[in-house]
Structure 1
Amino acid sequence: MLVKSFPEVQADPGVTRQVLSDSAELMVVAFRFQKKGAEGKLHNHPHIQSTYVESGRFTFTVDGEDIEVGPGDSFVIPSNALHGCKCLEPGTLVDTFTPRRDDFL
């Protein structure tokens, strides 16, 4: 088993992204939101995404539906669904993607 270390990079204003682990079939990424109001802008991608709220509070928009989530909540975002989030309280999201997001490497 090879352990890799990935840098933390700026994803959006007030948001950093760090790949935690990856393989061709799966990737785990931490998104850290440092301030209220920071956003993960609306976007879509072909990957299936699972999101786990480690800490903080967020409003997610997924295909036009808004949901508010907090610590311990998790959900799946289907392939190509338009989605984004707004930070209500600073915290960390742990996202898993299948297949891997090569654009994050």
Structure 2
Amino acid sequence: MLVKTFPEVPADPGVKRQVLSDSPELMVVAFRFQEEGAQGKLHNHPHVQSTYVESGRFVFTVDGEELQVGPGDSFVIPSMAIHGCTCLEPGTLIDTFTPRRDDFL
């Protein structure tokens, strides 16, 4: 098995993104929110997304519904759901996508 190392890149202001692992069927990505108020802007994509809160606190909007989450929380975002988040306390989100997000490579 080949282990790849991916660089950390800017995602949105105050947010860095790093692919942790990938295959055509699955991708794991860390989003590191460095400051309170940093946002993952509203967007959608055809991928099913699972989000795990490693650290920090966030308010997510998923198809118009708000959800406050903290360390240890996880949830699934359906394909094409409009979603985004605001950081309440700096931390890291671990997102898993199926299939892989080729736009992140």
TM over 0.5: yes
Q: Percent of aligned pairs with the same residue? A: 85
The residue number in structure 2 matching 1:68 is 68
- Runs of 4 or more, structure 1, over 3 Å off, are none
Using the TM superposition, give the Cα deviation of residue 75 of structure 1 relative to its aligned residue in structure 2, in angstroms.
Answer: 0.1
The residue number in structure 2 matching 1:98 is 98
CA distance in 1, matches of 2:59, 2:79: 20
State the TM-score, normalized to the length of structure 1. 1.00
CA deviations 1:22-77 (Å, max 9, x no partner) are 00000000000000000000000000000000000000000000000000000000
CA distance in 1, matches of 2:63, 2:41: 13
State the TM-score, normalized to the length of structure 2. 1.00
CA distance in 2, matches of 1:90, 1:18: 16
Structure 1 residue ranges without an equivalent (≥5): none
1:103 counterpart SS class: helix
CA distance in 1, matches of 2:54, 2:86: 15
